[in-house]
Structure 1
């Protein structure tokens, strides 16, 4: 038996150095979900069930379509390693592999402002309660992500973001 382990000349070795890690604490998740449940109860009391359902499922879908479209227009190809995540703080359509922090910041900054502008365009046709709930839900989905990106802001130029189930890490090569 030959246990000789050699690398071929075509092998690529990636060496990443951890710059900073943000742990996802359960107490933050519970507080965030408590705020969410209270907002949903308020919304259910003030808007129709159909409007509530459309906002609840429509905003994450708009985020996913918008991120996919932005990535496709900027990169020339569809995002390959993006997936749906149902864990906070990365609830929604998120990168599954290492991704440049500058790219994530650019995508989420554009996502934040453009979706707010799109929602504002619906002002004449939506009731104020539905519009405010849609804006709240949009900000609710993005705020934890933007806070983590803000924590990593000084590594924007060379940082690589890696999202794990229990933490989000920033690495450099």
Structure 2
């Protein structure tokens, strides 16, 4: 084999070894700061109503419930990821996000829209089931706090899913950024 034939063969091999990802942006949803700030203030309205309704105990319970919901979401997400990936949970794409409204244990890298939708809908249902179970033992205001705060945490995620659902194609990928959410098709 001559030198040019070897060079061409090496170049063809190099080109076949490369994997080039090309994605088409299907939809991008930007976070609007005024709306996000108003939404972030809703728990203060709930805490004020709980204080007027039944004093300081439901307010303390509500503040505690904010953190407890995040722990529940983290555990349920890890369990769902472990169920999906039988060889072990692929939690490397998930982490703690501190950018509003994507606060909590959420994807920090690009993930399948189908997986995101499945996990969030499971969290939505499991959260209301937990609220219903504890409603039997808790005072009415505290039980309502669980349901209201769960709804407050989940509403941005459910609205995101519903707004992206029509644009989603088979194999769509989702990226949650600090100021936007983007849906891509491979």
Residue 14 of structure 2 is aligned to residue 20 of structure 1:
no
Query: Which residue is 1:136 aligned to?
Result: 148
Query: Which residue is 1:3 aligned to?
Result: none
Larger radius of gyration: 2
Please, which runs of 5 or more residues in structure 2 have no aligned partner?
1-10
Are residues 56 and 44 of structure 1, via their aligned partners in 2, closer, same or farther at CA, if it must alter by over 3 Å? Answer: farther
Instruction: State how 1:106-117 maps to structure 2 within 5 Å.
Output: 106-117=118-129
Residue 117 of structure 2 is aligned to residue 105 of structure 1:
yes
State the Cα distance separating 1:156 from its structure 2 match.
Answer: 5.2
**RMSD of aligned Cα (Å):** 1.9
8 Å contact 2:113–2:171 — kept in the other structure?
Answer: yes
Please, which runs of 5 or more residues in structure 1 have no aligned partner?
1-5
Instruction: State how 1:152-171 maps to structure 2 within 5 Å.
Output: 152-154=164-166, 155=168, 157-171=170-184
State the Cα distance separating 1:33 from its structure 2 match.
Answer: 1.7
Give distance in 1, aligned partners of 2:179 and 2:124.
24
Higher helix share: 2
Give distance in 2, aligned partners of 1:23 and 1:112.
23
Give distance in 2, aligned partners of 1:156 and 1:140.
28
How many residue pairs are counted as aligned between the two chains? 168
Instruction: State how 1:9-158 maps to structure 2 within 5 Å.
Output: 10-45=17-52, 46=54, 47-48=56-57, 50-76=60-86, 77-78=88-89, 79-154=91-166, 155=168, 157-158=170-171
8 Å contact 1:44–1:52 — kept in the other structure?
Answer: no
The answer to which of 129-138 and 83-92 deviates more is 83-92
TM-score by length of 2: 0.82
Q: Deviations over 1:114-143 (max 9, x none)?
A: 121122111221111111111111111110
8 Å contact 1:102–1:156 — kept in the other structure?
Answer: no
8 Å contact 1:101–1:157 — kept in the other structure?
Answer: no
